[in-house]
A = this chain, B = another copy of it.
Amino acid sequence: VTLGIGDDAAVLEPKPGKRLLATCDAQIEGVHFEWSLIGPYQLGRRAAAVNLSDIASMGGSPVAAFVSLALPPDLPLESFDRLFEGIRDAMASEGASVAGGNLARSDKLVVDIFLLGEADRVLTRSGAKPGDVICVTGPLGGSAAGLDALRHARAHPDAAAAGDTTGAAVDGRLAGIAGAYLDPRPHLREGRAIASSAFATSMIDVSDGLAADLGHLCDASGVGAEIDAAAVPIPEGIEEVSRRTGRAPLDYALFGGEDYALLFTARAAAGDVEAWARGSTDGVRVIGRITSEPGMRLVRPDGGTVPLRPGGWDHFRKAEGG
């Protein structure tokens, strides 16, 4: 970035030979977040993470962010400062800077981030082939379960312990899982390691839910998939939430979304991928395989196989359904 905030446009000098990556994603008050569940600093980090994860899923490194904010007139100046600080900190910890943006007013807060990145080798959604193993870079379902934990604590304030920094006070045993929602870590290091490996064939980040994002990957690659339910990694603390909400841990993992782990396919034996991962990116687990037969199937712990449908979070489908 040779010229940042303050002129009509930012000026960047692209590094020779690198590919440029570009993505954008918005967080809208009342749609993507509620002020009673998340503070402005965490919202800023989260809005950054959503975009950083898109760069991670291509195997890239973030370079420069552009922040378009629509602010309600009654938003305290301190909240604005904390929000911006959250964005800046999350970007800085991955080597990127905020290079521009614009401000407007609006009834509801809109945080729209545009992020530029760069990569030597890009890994897309469309390279999966029958026989490839399906892998994830971390546990799934924590974000949706964490959001439910925060909602549960808000609905039952007496049962919740104090001493919490978020909007809702969360029981100590739930604080860990709440963090999966409030401060998801984009898997940038993992994404680069996977993209530069010899065996990776496709990659996507888990934003809509494992089933939905695997569906996107299968559609783009023209293949089907089989997932071993028992192999899907579940985060610690999720059973505590399941006990309160009645939603099974596997259901959170398959359909929860917003985990921002990476889902990738590899042309290798399962043991080889996990052995490679032990030396570089801990947390990688093989959870299934790509099939030539279209559609997705779930192999249950008892060995039975059931169809797996996307069923993940989809703003428009939800809106249409009322």
Which listed residue (B13, B26, B108, B122) contacts A3, Cβ 8 A? B122
Q: How far is the CB of A290 from chain B (nearest CB, A)?
A: 18
Which listed residue (B14, B16, B23, B60) contacts A20, Cβ 8 A? B14
Proximity string of chain A (106-130) to chain B, C-beta cutoff 8 Å, 1 when within and 0 when not: 1110101010110100101110000
Proximity string of chain A (1-35) to chain B, C-beta cutoff 8 Å, 1 when within and 0 when not: 01100111111111010111111111010111000
Which listed residue (B20, B28, B100, B105) contacts A11, Cβ 8 A? B20
Does B25 contact A68, Cβ atoms closer than 8 Å?
yes
Proximity string of chain A (303-322) to chain B, C-beta cutoff 8 Å, 1 when within and 0 when not: 00000000000011001100
Does A104 contact B55, Cβ atoms closer than 8 Å?
no
Question: Which 7 interchain pairs have the tightest Cβ spacing?
Answer: A14-B14, A9-B23, A114-B114, A12-B20, A8-B57, A8-B54, A9-B21
Chain A residues near B (Cβ < 8 Å): 2-3, 6-14, 16, 18-26, 28, 30-32, 53-55, 57-58, 60, 64, 66, 68, 70, 73, 99-108, 110, 112, 114, 116-117, 119, 122, 124-126, 204-205, 220, 315-316, 319-320
Please, could you name 22 A-B residue pairs with CB atoms under 8 Å apart, sorted by A? A2-B19, A6-B125, A8-B204, A8-B205, A9-B55, A9-B117, A10-B22, A11-B19, A12-B22, A13-B19, A20-B20, A22-B66, A25-B68, A26-B112, A28-B70, A28-B104, A31-B104, A31-B106, A32-B104, A105-B316, A107-B107, A116-B116
